[in-house]
Amino acid sequence: MTTSNASPFVDEDALFRPADFMAHADTDEREYANYSYIRETVNRFLSNKGALVSLVVISLIVLVAIIAPLVSPYSYSDVNSSITNLPPRIPGLEQLGICDGTQNGVDLYAEAGIPNEYHFFGTDGLGRDVWTRVWEGTRISLVIALIAVVVGVLIGIVYGLVSGYFGGKVDIVMQRFTEVLSSIPQLVITTLLIVVLQPGLANIVIVLFITGWIDMSRIVRAQVLKCKTQEFTLAARTLGVSSRDIIFKEILPNTMPQVVVTFMFSIPNAIFLEAFLAFIGLGIPAPTASLGTMINDGYNAAMIYPYQVLAPVMVLAILMLGFNLFGDGLRDALDPERS
Amino acid sequence: MGAAGVVEQGGPLLSVRNLRQYFKIPGGNVVKAVDDVSFDIMPGETFGLVGESGSGKSTTGRAVIRLDDITSGSIVFDGDDISGKLSKEVAQRLRTNMSMVFQDPMASLNPYRKVIDTIATGLDAHRPHMDRREREELVYQMMDRVGLSRSQANRYPSQFSGGQRQRVGLARALIMNPKLVIADEAISALDVSIQAQVVNLMRDIQQETGAAYLFIAHDLSMVRYISDHIAVMHLGHIVESGRTDEIFSHPVHPYTRSLISAIPRFNPQVERDRHPLVYDAKAQGIRYDEGSYHIVSGTHSVLATDQQLEAWVD
């Protein structure tokens, strides 16, 4: 890398200088450790700050939802007409003058005759402890959403893979079926089904699942259609890879980013749909709480007792933000091209 | 080249007769992508298939390796008829003994699979219960052979350059020690210096393993460099075929002549006087379905009518 003396350019004129090649020679030889795909995904996920925070937040909410109703001295269904609509009272914070159980300067806890009790989020119109009910409701909402979405996603993935990969008549029949199903308004299906099946935990899961898997199957099918004509799939075919292996090893990983994001968006959607069913009176029957039924109960008195609606809304909002960030981080972690 | 392979005399490795590949398109029309194509590939030789875009050369390659079901014709590979429905044993032999290198180094590797797994695709498909060490060792040997370093085995395709990716594609095609490798525009997407590297690599590997190549390309000078035999395709027909020196020293068909006349020359004086010939089948009244194959000399044959041949040979 020496310049000849005859060159009309002096060193200072040279725009490009030869780099020290040997210093970079090892860059290309850098060893990439032989980690499994799952471990690499976890590593990539953990290096994403937003995703990590969302993971902690979701875990905290899940943990509290499990523990809080267990350790709370109140049950979610205890009705006590003498302590209705109490404001929040939290030990520690009450010294600071907030959440001290007073409303308009009156200590309602003393008035109700329970000066030593603490309802962290206050009580509702029937005297039930909102704190216990919020976490009980979070539990129920999460269980409903998770079961419905997980089952829906699994069915949707398989349906989309089969429909997209085999194509032709199989695809035509399968797509017409989903079109018929999705052409009936979701509201009509859910209402009819709930009316026929009676409101209840299992039946709400079934309803959410029936309307939830179609989106996923469409997204997966679109990805499959894209991947199956790409050269890496053709290469696998020329090497005699079986259809099963092509679907699961070549095509399925390529659908994962979309699947994960859709999955994570589906959870808050399912919680919302459940809340909506509660709103039109087809939700989980009382006294069982879900975030949806609590928001609808609190909504009636939102102007006078805002904490009754604020508590479940906050939990729902944080949960949804958490799931979206989590989905984003997971999508990036699953995709080796993004890192 | 090909001295290592052509010594084996005997029947052809691949024999294609009257291959037709039609595609129905909406509106009831039929595209005759490949129309009555016949050629032979001997073991260990390199057969160049050239032609412009849309001439059907890639379709021919895809038909030969049975990515598409052919409309009619016969394909005999290594003694097996592979033109109809494949039995399990024939499919097994076809898939291990014939492989393909693709054009686009970006799209031909799965972005979600590590290079080591991509190269081992054939091993996983045909020897699924292979020892993990043995599989790794075979992949490493193949990476050495195509000029990739072992330390790169655990990378993803996005961490490679175009030339390196094409080497990965080549390694994947060669892992089962195939007798025939179809290179479908395998170097067209690379820049010229990398093209030379990859082509020389393919030649070296051919000398080591004795594999035959069906080399599909539109770059005549590259095809001339690597091929023993050349077939020139136009509009789904092979218009002229023969040994490389026959084609280049005595091109007969006007289409071949126009292709050769379009190659830039290195000598500036020659280049200044070079006038590419214009070829327009319709204007010159050439209809491929009227012609038949005439032997000009040895293996050199041309698609023409008797009158056309007389006019062209002069």
The domains located in chain B, with CATH, are: 3-313 (3.40.50.300)
Name the helix (H) or strand (E) containing A56.
helix A49-71
* B105 neighbourhood in chain A, CB within 8 Å: none
* Among the listed residues A281, A306, A311, the one whose alpha carbon sits nearest the alpha carbon of residue A294: A311
Tens of pLDDT, residue by residue over A142-164, are 888 888 889 999 999 999 999 99
Answer whether A228's CB lies under 8 Å from A164's CB: yes
* B118 neighbourhood in chain A, CB within 8 Å: 232
| Whether B77 contacts chain A with CB within 8 A | no
* B153 neighbourhood in chain A, CB within 8 Å: 32, 34
Tens of pLDDT, residue by residue over B228-242, are 999 999 999 999 999
Q: Which residue of A has its CA nearest to B116?
A: A34
E strands present in B78-190: 80-81, 98-101, 180-184
Interface list for A 192-251 with B (CB within 8 A): 230-232, 234-242, 245, 249-250
* B99 neighbourhood in chain A, CB within 8 Å: 238-239
From the number of C-beta atoms within 10 Å of its C-beta (0-12, 13-18, 19+), residue B188 rates as middle
Answer whether B63's CB lies under 8 Å from B32's CB: no
Q: Which residues contact A165 (CB under 8 A, 6 or more apart)?
A: A224, A228, A243, A246, A247, A251
Q: Which residues contact B215 (CB under 8 A, 6 or more apart)?
A: B46, B47, B48, B49, B183, B186, B223, B226, B227
Cα(B285)–Cα(B191) distance, integer angstroms: 38
Structural domains of chain A ordered from first start: 55-67+134-291+315-338 (1.10.3720.10), 86-120 (no CATH)
Q: Could you say which of A30, A232, A242 has the minimum Cβ distance to residue B108?
A: A232
Q: Looking at the complex, report in whole angstroms how far the Cα of residue A130 sits from the nearest Cα belonging to chain B.
A: 47
Please give the ipTM for the structure prediction: 0.85
Contact yes or no for B107 and A336 at CB 8 A: no
* B112 neighbourhood in chain A, CB within 8 Å: 253-254, 256, 335-336
Contact yes or no for A239 and B95 at CB 8 A: yes
The angle formed by the CA atoms of residues B56, B59 and B62, to the nearest 5 degrees, is 155
HSE-CB at A296 with a 13 A cutoff on CA atoms is 21
Contact yes or no for A235 and B121 at CB 8 A: yes
Q: pTM of whole model > 0.90? A: no
Q: Residue A59: what pLDDT?
A: 92
Q: Residue B8: what pLDDT?
A: 45
Please identify every stretch of chain B with a pLDDT value under 50, giving residue numbers as ranges.
1-8
| Whether A33 contacts chain B with CB within 8 A | yes
Cα(A178)–Cα(A217) distance, integer angstroms: 9
| Whether B17 contacts chain A with CB within 8 A | no
Q: Which residues contact B133 (CB under 8 A, 6 or more apart)?
A: none
Please identify every stretch of chain A with a pLDDT value under 50, giving residue numbers as ranges.
1-10, 13, 339
Compute CA distances A162 → A20, A252, A256, whole Å.
54, 11, 16
